[in-house]
Amino acid sequence: MRQAGQIADVEAYIKQSTASLSAAPEERLRRLIVQLPDSNYRRFKQLAAEQGVTMSELCRAWVEEALAEHFD
């Protein structure tokens, strides 16, 4: 039950963060990433650099993986 609540919280945060954006999906992901706390932003940036991908690509992969895992 707790996991469902956490997923709902994340979905609500994403909707709130991107609801008013009319930009392309790539731009919405970038803007969502920018809203992360600085410490998380640095960690994501470092992880993306280590994997040789952009932060948008990294986040997109995580979102797609989570959707496939939880909503299939």
pLDDT at 52: 93
pTM (2 decimals)? 0.44
**How do residues 15-63 score in pLDDT, each as one tens digit?**
665 555 556 777 767 777 666 667 777 788 888 889 999 888 888 888 8
Question: Each residue of 42-52: b (16+ CB within 10 Å) or e?
Answer: eebeeebeeee
User: Per-residue confidence at 1, pLDDT binned at 50, 70, 90?
Assistant: very low
Provide mean pLDDT across the span 2-19.
60
- CB of 48 closer than 8 Å to CB of 54: yes
Residue spans of the domains in the chain: they are 2-70
Q: CA–CA distance from 2 to each of 5, 7, 16, 63 (Å)?
A: 5, 9, 21, 19
User: Per-residue confidence at 68, pLDDT binned at 50, 70, 90?
Assistant: confident
